[in-house]
Structure formats: C-alpha cells, structure tokens
Amino acid sequence: MSGHPFYKRRGFINGLSRRSFLLKAGLVTTGILLNSCIRKVKPGSQYKNIKGSIKGPNAKAGHILRDKLPLPVPGSTRRVKTLIIGGGISGLSAARWLKKQGYTDFELLELEDHVGGNSHSRKNDISAYPLGAHYITIVNNEDKLITEFLQDCNVITGFENNLPVYNEYYLCFDPEERLLINGQWQEGIVPDFSLTPSDKAEVKKFFALIDAFKKAKGSDGKYGFDIPVDNSSADENFRVLDGITFKEYLQQQQFTSKYLLWYLNYCCKDDYGQKIDKVSAWAGIHYFASRRGKAANAESNAVLTWPEGNGWLTNRLSETVAGHIRKGSMCYNVSYDEQGRVVANIYNIANNTTSTIVADNVIMATPQFVNQRLFKETITRPIDYQALNYSSWFVANITVKRLPQTKGAGLCWDNVAFDTPSVGYVNAGQQAVSQSNEKKVLTWYLPLCDHEPRIARLAAYTRTYEQWMDIMMPELEYMHPRITDAIENVECWIWGHGMIYPAVNYIWGKNRKAAQQPVKNNVFFAHTDLSGISIFEEAFHQGVRAASQLLAIYDKQANT
C-alpha cells in the first residue's frame, strides 16, 4: 500500500489554483447546482458500460433559496394552526409527538417528493438501499422516548429481566464488519492484523480510557457523555474538552500509533464527516462513551439496520402522521404579519405556483443555514449562523453482478479499507433472509473532508460522473481487484450540507443553546444541527423537544 489516500492522486481541485477554482465555482453556483442528474462519460471511458447518474437533494429548490430566483406572486392564502417545515427525522418526530399528545391541528411541509431528509432511501431490482443514514445502535436503557418508539414499531419486541429484546430481523446479521489491512481482510474494524505490540498496547490504553469515560458522572449526577447530548453532564471537567480538538487531546494523552490514529480518524469521519483535527475532543469522546445500551439478546453497541437503512425508520415515523404531510412544498420565506402571526410563503414545485400560509405557530425542522435564508432580515435570532459547520458527503449505490473474493474474512455488512479516503461500503442486502442472489447493492460512503467545507461542497457540485468514478474506483479496485467489470450501475448522490459537525466550542458554546430558543413564543426549532451531532436519536429528540416547547405554551386542548 502506498500510504497515500487514493483520491489525493486525482481530483477536481488538483491542477487548479484556489482562486480560479473559486471563480469557476462562483459561476457554477449561479447556473446549475449539481453537474447533474445526467451521466457524463467520455466515449472511450472505461466506465462506458456502467449505467447511473448523479443526484442529490432537490437542486431547483436549493437554487431558488440561495440565488433568490424570482417566483410567481402567491395565488392564495390559507390558515393553519401549527406548521412544521421540514420532513426529515426531526420534523417527523415533532409531528408524531404532537399527535401522540392529542394535538392534531398541524401540517408538515416537505420540499422533496418524499420525506426522510438524509434518512431517505431508494430501491432497484436487487435491493432497497440507503442514500444517507443507514443504522442506529441499540439505545441507552434510560432513553424511554426512543425505547417507546422502537416498541411501537416492533424493533423492541418485549423485555426480559428488564432488558429490551430486540427483533432479530433488525439486529445486524453476522458477519458484521471487516477491515482490509496489510493485504488481508481481518474481522472487526479496530486494527489488529499485523500490529506491533506497542500499537496494540495503545489501542488497549485508548479503550481503557473510554471505559472510564463511559462510567464517569459529573457533579450534577449526570453521565459525562449521553444521548441526547443535552442530557450530558454540564460539569466543567467534561466541558473543558469541548475547547480543544480531538487531535490535541490525543496528543496530550501521547497517543502516536498510526493504526490507532487512523481508526479514530475513521470514526470521526463516519459519524461527523470530518477528521480528528476538526471536531472537538468532547465530541470525539462522545462517539465512544455515550452508548451504554444493554439488551437481553444483543451485545452492547449492537447495530440495528435494514436494507433501506434508516429509510425504514423514516417510514415508520411518517406512517404515524401520514394525513398531515404535504410533499413537494418548499417554504421560501417566513416572516411575521402585523398581528404577530407567522406568515410562510410556499412554492409548489410540481405546479410552479406559490401560496401563503398564515400560522399561529411554526416548528422549523430545517437546518439553520436554510432558516437564515428563509427569515432574511425579518426574524432575527442572537446566533452566529456562520459558526455552524456542515460536512459534505458523496454516497454511491453500486450494483454488482458478483463480488470478486479476496484473502481473509468474507463479505460483511460493513467493509472498510485501512488508510483510504472513504469510510467503506455497506452491503445493503445483508439483512435479506435469503442470500441466493449473487447480485448485490453496495452503499459506498465518502466524507468530503480533505478541504475546508465550502470548497469541498463547491467541488462536489461541479464534478462530473466520470470524475466521481475516478475518485471511487481505485479504492474499490484495491478492495476487490477486477470489480469494475462486475459493476452494472452506480447511482451517485451528493449531500452538500450533509450534516452538522461538532467543531470546537459548538456543543457547549452559547450559539447552540441560543439556536434552540423559540422566537416570540411561536417559532420553534428542531433539527439535528441544534445537537451538533447528527444521528437518528438526536433528530428524534430535537423533534420531541421543539414539540414539547410548543405544547407548553399553547393549550393542547384548544384544538382537539
């Protein structure tokens, strides 16, 4: 192995000065968003027999919001008691919570023709597959709200000795994960094969440290690291870790093993889309120390997954509020009228028409960078929007006729190669009960973290299909020599603002707390960027928190 990440060898930015790149990107953002929805390959390309396209969240909508394109004048106005804007996990969770509390006078607007946001999925003839979020772990036993939801959708089927029994169909089937390292696939992702005793000792020391953090509680009696993050101890002994990067912390602890550091970079990329030098030490430790779930029939940290990834959870949540959802409805402006009611302007994407909704109150389940554009100067909040940082992701769903076999452990659900830019691929069909079909869909994840987020995002929007293949295929060929000939189709998906990442001082800083506060007691906020950690559990709790804030202010009896 060269030791150099593969895609540093090629790529769009190489050969372009930073200035000319930004100029080019500037031109592109006023023209198109993704380079896009079409498959561009040169006539003699080695990928010419591979079908596929580049897609992502609705490009037209992003274009309208960012570039302030002119829209038709609103043709109608209607009244709604409560409006939820955004149908990702947080918006759906807010809607479910309102309904569960007997509050039914609400409507949820989603700009896409599907709900789920980053937890959306698709399917082809071979399998369903995720486009973003693909798993959760068994939940912390104190987390009654998610436990109850998982019971409602039969993920938890009962209790034995006070421990939840998880549905065997949804616990990740064996074998779960493998790592290609020093020429061989080993079982598990923590590097082990051919490590020196001193590397192994460092790995052991790190996990001993994490065990201590898992048990540690602050002077307020709370765990130092918990899910949701807002349940974590505010003890300064833990909080201080938010003020330095994870990399600085690891240096202070004198961790130097390249294998351990690779693993920790991999974990941060996997959960935050960034490496150890970009996320806070508090967040880096939280990844490992916050999960303490115990089950009657599974190990701690066991994975729950579905062929469609968290798209399965999206479907269960949306079923609970089905009659309240309006898709293809993009909010493009939110302001107050003279009576202090909330006025939302809505663009119907399919009909190219606009309308106005006047609501008593609104839950914004949209990311803050979107809210900033929707509020313009009419709704002000004491937060610094620029201090919120989002990671971009490239996800490819690869349909293969067969998977060339290699030395060591066989195909697992999660398959990762040491010292490569991606975080590997998951086998979407792992949970299929019958494994008779040789054809598979592999979901390959690449966090775009080698450049500052804005540059990475603009580069992502301008790459062609062939350029993405040039980035991905060397790594896949390294994992599975001759795989190119076995590939039928590659569906590329770009998440420009895929997820918030917990930069230094974000989780415990003033900004995040301020962003959770309602405006004038009738505009509420729910999105994972208010947690700083983008996982299903946080989105779920952000939804419940915002809905509870609303219910605490408004008499829920008034509209039932």
Ligand X SMILES: Cc1cc2nc3c(=O)[nH]c(=O)nc-3n(C[C@H](O)[C@H](O)[C@H](O)COP(=O)(O)OP(=O)(O)OC[C@H]3O[C@@H](n4cnc5c(N)ncnc54)[C@H](O)[C@@H]3O)c2cc1C
List contacts with ligand X (CB under 6 A).
57, 85-91, 109-112, 117-119, 132-136, 310, 330-331, 365-367, 370, 393, 395, 445, 495, 498-499, 527-528, 534-536, 539
Q: Least CB distance from residue 326 to ligand X, whole Å?
A: 9
Alpha carbon of residue 158 to chain centroid: 29
Q: Least CB distance from residue 160 to ligand X, whole Å?
A: 26
Q: Which is nearer to ligand X, 353 or 484 (CB)?
A: 353
Q: Which is nearer to ligand X, 115 or 276 (CB)?
A: 115
Q: Which is nearer to ligand X, 180 or 334 (CB)?
A: 334
Q: Least CB distance from residue 413 to ligand X, whole Å?
A: 12
* Token pair listed for 429: 């069909």
Q: Which is nearer to ligand X, 261 or 364 (CB)?
A: 364
Give the span between the Cα atoms of 463 and 392, in whole angstroms. Answer: 14
Q: Which is nearer to ligand X, 250 or 346 (CB)?
A: 346
Q: Which is nearer to ligand X, 40 or 60 (CB)?
A: 60
Q: Least CB distance from residue 113 to ligand X, whole Å?
A: 10
Q: Least CB distance from residue 284 to ligand X, whole Å?
A: 17
User: Three-state SS string across 194-229, please?
Assistant: CCCHHHHHHHHHHHHHHHHHHHCECCCCCECCCCCH
Alpha carbon dihedral 189, 217, 279, 479, in 10-degree steps, equals 10
Contacts 24+ apart (CB under 8 A), 57-61: 57/112, 57/495, 57/496, 58/111, 58/112, 58/330, 58/349, 59/32, 59/33, 59/34, 60/33, 60/349, 61/111, 61/112, 61/330, 61/347, 61/349
Give the span between the Cα atoms of 303 and 546, in whole angstroms. Answer: 28
b/e code 292-331 from CB counts within 10 Å (16+ = b): bbebeebeeebbbbbbbbbbbbbbbbbebbeebbeebbbb
Q: Least CB distance from residue 422 to ligand X, whole Å?
A: 11
* Token pair listed for 144: 């009654």
Question: What three-state secondary structure class fits 451?
Answer: coil
Write out the DSSP string of 312-338: HHHHHHHHTTGGGEE-SEEEEEEEE-T
Q: Which is nearer to ligand X, 96 or 134 (CB)?
A: 134
Q: Least CB distance from residue 464 to ligand X, whole Å?
A: 21
Q: Which is nearer to ligand X, 274 or 366 (CB)?
A: 366
Q: Least CB distance from residue 528 to ligand X, whole Å?
A: 3
